[in-house]
């Protein structure tokens, strides 16, 4: 049985808050403008001391690997999530609430029906998606979306079977909701993937506002 894990954006805050307040703490790290490997160039926006060097100042990664880019299509509206199907075609979500298949030559399929209604205001909408590791046999798709409700919007995770004709998602079912709902329209999170052992990992947000941020560290909030 697959397990689902959420990865709140507040993980970094949890690590920082776990630091002790004794005198052995390292001093808050400062960026080095002269250091080309430093990603951060502005002063820290917190007085928390890092638990170890480099915790809050991630170094840049440089590579000499050659790469090329090519525009596949400009026919999509606000594409958000993308995953590859076994045959190389791309399954893509559009923020407004539609899912489409795009070939590597740029042909865009019709909107796939059967998907839950989304709240696409602000940063919400139809977000990340992935396919089941056993997609070849079960054709299951998993996706994240901002779900509207009577108590506000929330981050939800759903799954369903892509029909054989690729026209609809069959038996779409919500398998997780990041409660409580909130009337804001920011910081839903929304990335989703399977790890090597078959667990489903999902990122969720703290919904941006000061009133909701403490819930990212609350064991009573799901």
Which residues, including other chains, have CB under 8 Å from residue 151's CB and lie 6 or more apart?
Answer: 180, 181
| DSSP-derived 3-state class of residue 182 | strand
Whether the CB-CB separation of 180 and 147 falls below 8 Å is answered with no
Tokens of 18: 């776990």
Q: Specify whether 116 is catalytic.
A: no
Q: Which residue of the set 187, 188, 202, 216 is catalytic?
A: 187
Question: Cα–Cα distances in Å, from 77 out to 17, 80, 92, 200?
Answer: 40, 9, 11, 27
| DSSP-derived 3-state class of residue 78 | coil
Catalytic residues: 187
């Amino acid at each position: 049985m697959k397990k689902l894990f959420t990865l709140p954006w507040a993980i970094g805050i949890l690590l920082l808050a776990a630091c002790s307040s004794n005198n052995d703490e390292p001093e808050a790290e400062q960026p080095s403008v002269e250091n080309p490997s430093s990603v951060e160039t502005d002063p820290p926006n917190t007085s928390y001391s890092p638990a170890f060097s480099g915790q809050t100042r991630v170094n840049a990664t440089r590579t000499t690997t050659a790469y090329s880019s090519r525009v596949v299509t400009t026919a999509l509206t606000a594409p958000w999530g993308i995953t590859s199907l076994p045959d190389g075609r791309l399954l893509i979500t559009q923020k407004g609430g539609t899912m489409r298949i795009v070939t590597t030559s740029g042909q865009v399929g019709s909107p796939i029906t059967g998907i839950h209604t989304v709240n696409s205001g602000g940063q919400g909408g139809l977000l990340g998606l992935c396919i089941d590791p056993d997609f070849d046999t079960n054709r299951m798709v998993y996706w994240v979306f901002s779900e509207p409700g009577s108590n506000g919007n929330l981050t939800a995770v759903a799954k369903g079977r892509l029909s054989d004709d690729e026209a609809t998602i069959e038996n779409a079912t919500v398998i997780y909701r990041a409660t409580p709902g909130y009337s804001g329209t920011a910081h839903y999170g929304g990335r989703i993937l399977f790890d090597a052992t078959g667990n489903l990992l999902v990122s969720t947000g703290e919904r941006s506002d000061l009133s909701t941020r403490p819930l990212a560290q609350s064991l009573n909030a799901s």
